[in-house]
Amino acid sequence: MKAAAREERSPDARSNEQEKRGRKASKEVRQLQLIEATIDSLAKRGYSETTMADVADGAGLSRGIVNFHFESKEKLLIATLQHMYDEYSTHWRNALQKAGDDPARQLQALVAADFDRSICNKRKLAAWCAFWGEAKSRPTYQALSSARDAVYQNIYIDLCATLKQSGGYAFEPQVMALALSAMLEGLWLRLMMGTEDTTRETALQAANEFLAAAFPRHFAPTTAVGGGTT
């Protein structure tokens, strides 16, 4: 009888387990919906004008759902910034891995990755700029960005150092990496502002010309990179 009772309960146990997994999946889906709606609101309204109500309406969810998942605007924005950094990090790491072991190809791949449509579009660029404008006065944002930016920048420094050694260049790798990063950030800013002569394609072309000027023994002025121009 006890064995039979256990057998009778097992389908219920399996059902409960499936229900728990379903709730977990639903939670992740809901949170992603709210994060995507937050990005939309940041792009449309800016940082200070974005509200929990805007996010709820944009996601097509109740305002109580937003409060349930994130409790406050600050927690929602931190989660959104974390999501954007995770997405960006995964993107450039994949590009770096696909480039193989050649440092010149790796550097070129990282530059091209910055202008891929999935990462480089007005919506996400506007959201990044909204966060950048707040970072100076918000230690949490600074802490989140500093560690990740340092890892990314060190990759550039290492690649510049390797190319300097193989090409016999006179620049300081850290300075060159800083110049490269500033150039890429400037192109992102021009794209966000909608400057007429700047598109993802022309921005990538400008970045490639920078590589050719900085590393003439590794890149030709007519270097074309796929992936970021589609």
Q: List the chain domain ranges.
A: 1-71, 78-230
Please give the pLDDT value at position 196: 78
pLDDT tens-digit series, residues 176-191: 999 999 999 999 989 9
Q: Which fold has domain 78-230?
A: Tetracycline Repressor; domain 2 (1.10.357)
pLDDT tens-digit series, residues 66-83: 889 998 999 999 999 999
With CA atoms as reference, report the closest residue to 37 among 11, 63, 2: 63
Please give the pLDDT value at position 17: 54
pLDDT tens-digit series, residues 76-112: 999 999 999 999 999 999 999 999 999 999 999 999 9
Please give the pLDDT value at position 27: 81
Identify the CATH homologous superfamily for domain 1-71: Homeodomain-like (1.10.10.60)
How many other C-beta atoms lie within 10 A of the C-beta of residue 198?
17
pLDDT tens-digit series, residues 2-29: 444 444 445 555 544 544 444 455 888 8
Instruction: List own/partner pairs for 159-168 with CB under 8 A and 24 or more apart.
Output: 159/103, 159/106, 159/107, 159/110, 160/107, 162/103, 163/103, 163/104, 163/107, 163/215, 163/218, 166/103, 166/217, 166/218, 167/215, 167/216, 167/217, 167/218, 168/217
Are 1-71 and 78-230 in the same CATH fold? no
